[in-house]
Amino acid sequence: MLDINLLRTEPDKVKENIKKKFQMEKLPLVDEVIELDKKNRDAKMQGDTLRNKRKVISKQIGALLAKGEKEAAEKVKLEVAEIAEKLEELEKNEEEYTQEIRKRMLVIPNIIDDSVPVGKDDSENVEVERFGEPFVPDFEIPYHVEIMERLNGIDLDSARRVSGNGFYYLMGDIARLQSAILSYGRDFMIDRGFTYCIPPFMIHGDVVTGVMSFAEMENMMYKIEGEDLYLIGTSEHSMIGKFIDTIIDENDLPKTLTSYSPCFRKEVGAHGIEERGVYRIHQFEKQEMIVVCKPEDSMAWFEKLYMNTVDFFRSLDVPVRTLECCSGDLADLKVKSLDVEAWSPRQKKYFEVGSCSNLGDAQARRLQIRVKRDDGSKYFAHTLNNTCVAPPRMLIAFLENNLEKDGRVRIPKPLRMYMGGKEYIG
């Protein structure tokens, strides 16, 4: 959510940003907010004037009664009552204006960074850098589900009967491999100085609206019927929510946390849930990282965060590339975002395995996450998040890049201690 002062002083900048995001339907919201804000401030000014007037004339009542001028005192009482009635109406208007302003402000997109390429959708995202040499072996690589099935590692048919499409049973060494990847991801991030955390997997509605846009919420979140609780789509939601309505001492920044969680997503508007794949699913697990920091440090942290993911995948011999998200592909709260994509030797192309985002102070404004300087003044923190690893999508890249010609899967050294010392499975 933007600072309303920006709309008051630089409405053209806000409108230009909306145009860069190709959300022309939101342009009228800027003028609507400015008009509502003017009415709201006028109502507050009138209210303050009336409150001061009521305070002054209320003192007259006692003086008049002391002089025995009851009739005059009654007239003043009537005037005070009229003021109270007007104040009640003005306060009601103020509340309505405030709600209408907030409703519009929540859907006006955040100001994107100047470095973000302008583009309409993800087809115009820009490759930044490649890490590792993409390799295609001299034998055919089967579809990832087929690899898992040959290793007795997945049961989609049972999952479909139990839960429907978009769910899975992982079995045996494949299940163990997923746990190994997550355990390695946890220790990898701890070794980089992040504090490990297992967060709540359900959050209140005010946290949901604090960390994401309404469009994302509608397409992603599962709501618990009859309760103000939602299943998290990523642990970033509850990790950033941890700081709701808090004032952090500036000397305690940055807050660097890494978290494990299951994730639940409706995937509404997606290209459908595959019956035979685990690329787009309703349930998965993830090792996440978040940072709460000073505004001047957020871009440096952005670079560090996505490089953590690059380094993690490279340590497991998976080639990756980074892809800068263009303006039209950014969610409304994001200032800048970069995807990490892994190489698929079967498809001979890269596919997304993680996403790093700088949200500026948007989440902090919505959740009231403030920082206190030594002089007592306060400002809104900046928040960032990034995926370290999210199996089973990671399993697709891992299996394809470590598959041997004889059907075995090679286990890179960092994972062997989590796999009972095995060098291969299969």
Q: Which tokens in the block code for residue 294?
A: 């000073």
With respect to residue 112, please indicate whether it lies within any of the assigned structural domains. no
With respect to residue 18, please indicate whether it lies within any of the assigned structural domains. yes
pLDDT at 255: 98
Q: Give the whole-angstrom CA distance, residue 231 versus residue 224.
A: 7
CA 12 to chain centre: 27
pLDDT at 74: 80
Amino acid at 37: D
Q: How many CA atoms are closer than 13 Å to the CA of 315, on its beta-carbon side?
A: 18
Most confident of 29-33, 87-91, 264-268: 29-33
pLDDT at 271: 52
Tell me, yes or no, whether 347 and 406 share the same domain.
yes
With respect to residue 111, please indicate whether it lies within any of the assigned structural domains. no
**Residue 213's pLDDT band (boundaries 50, 70, 90)?**
confident
* Contact partners, residue 193, CB within 8 Å, separation at least 6: 256
Tally of domains in the chain: 2
CATH number at residue 17: 1.10.287.40
Tell me, yes or no, whether 303 and 358 share the same domain.
yes
**Residue 268's pLDDT band (boundaries 50, 70, 90)?**
low
**Residue 219's pLDDT band (boundaries 50, 70, 90)?**
confident
Q: Give the whole-angstrom CA distance, residue 200 versus residue 189.
A: 20
Cβ–Cβ < 8 Å for 367, 245: yes
Query: Which residue range forms the structural domain that includes residue 30?
Result: 4-105
Q: Which tokens in the block code for residue 59?
A: 């003192």
Last residue of a domain, one of 38, 71, 105: 105
Tell me, yes or no, whether 132 and 78 share the same domain.
no
The helix (H) or strand (E) run that includes residue 387 is strand 382-389
CATH number at residue 140: 3.30.930.10
Q: Give the whole-angstrom CA distance, residue 290 versus residue 357.
A: 10
Q: Which tokens in the block code for residue 38?
A: 């003017």
The rounded percent of the chain whose pLDDT value lies above 70 is: 98
Tell me, yes or no, whether 212 and 331 share the same domain.
yes
Q: Give the whole-angstrom CA distance, residue 361 versus residue 292.
A: 10
Pairing of strands 195-197, 255-264: parallel
Tell me, yes or no, whether 188 and 318 share the same domain.
yes
Tell me, yes or no, whether 159 and 252 share the same domain.
yes
Tell me, yes or no, whether 83 and 135 share the same domain.
no
Cα→Cα distances 294→250, 301, 306, 372, Å = 8, 10, 18, 11
Taking only the tens place, the pLDDT of each residue in 4-40 is: 999 999 999 999 999 999 999 999 999 999 999 999 9
pLDDT at 61: 79
Taking only the tens place, the pLDDT of each residue in 151-182 is: 999 999 999 999 998 899 999 999 999 999 99
pTM of the model: 0.90
Tell me, yes or no, whether 215 and 333 share the same domain.
yes
Cβ–Cβ < 8 Å for 14, 111: yes
Q: Which tokens in the block code for residue 283?
A: 């349930």
Taking only the tens place, the pLDDT of each residue in 388-415 is: 999 988 999 999 999 999 999 999 999 9
Inform me whether the pLDDT recorded for 272 exceeds 60.
no
In this structure, what are the phi and psi dihedrals at residue 61, rounded to the nearest 5 degrees? -60, -50
Query: In DSSP terms, which residues pair with 119 in a beta bridge?
Result: none
With respect to residue 324, please indicate whether it lies within any of the assigned structural domains. yes
With respect to residue 163, please indicate whether it lies within any of the assigned structural domains. yes
pLDDT at 75: 83
pLDDT at 392: 86
Tell me, yes or no, whether 89 and 159 share the same domain.
no
Average pLDDT over residues 86-96: 92
Q: Give the whole-angstrom CA distance, residue 23 versus residue 17.
A: 9
Inform me whether the pLDDT recorded for 66 exceeds 80.
no
Q: Where are the alpha helices (DSSP H) in 154-199?
A: 156-162, 172-191
Inform me whether the pLDDT recorded for 275 exceeds 70.
no
Inform me whether the pLDDT recorded for 72 exceeds 90.
no
pLDDT at 277: 86
The rounded percent of the chain whose pLDDT value lies above 90 is: 84
The rounded mean pLDDT for the chain is 94
SS3 299: helix
Q: Which tokens in the block code for residue 384?
A: 């960032």
Tell me, yes or no, whether 148 and 83 share the same domain.
no
Cβ–Cβ < 8 Å for 122, 325: yes
With respect to residue 146, please indicate whether it lies within any of the assigned structural domains. yes
With respect to residue 115, please indicate whether it lies within any of the assigned structural domains. no
| Sheet with 378-380, edge to edge strand ranges | 246-249, 369-372, 378-380
pLDDT at 79: 85
Residue (of 319, 339, 306) closest to 398 by Cα position? 319
SS3 68: coil
With respect to residue 114, please indicate whether it lies within any of the assigned structural domains. no
Tell me, yes or no, whether 101 and 126 share the same domain.
no
Q: Give the whole-angstrom CA distance, residue 249 versus residue 376.
A: 9
Query: In DSSP terms, which residues pair with 409 in a beta bridge?
Result: 403, 425
Amino acid at 162: V
Average pLDDT over residues 229-244: 95
Tell me how crowded residue 373 is: count the other CB atoms within 10 A of its CB.
12
Tell me, yes or no, whether 82 and 191 share the same domain.
no
* Contact partners, residue 119, CB within 8 Å, separation at least 6: 125, 126, 326, 327, 328, 329
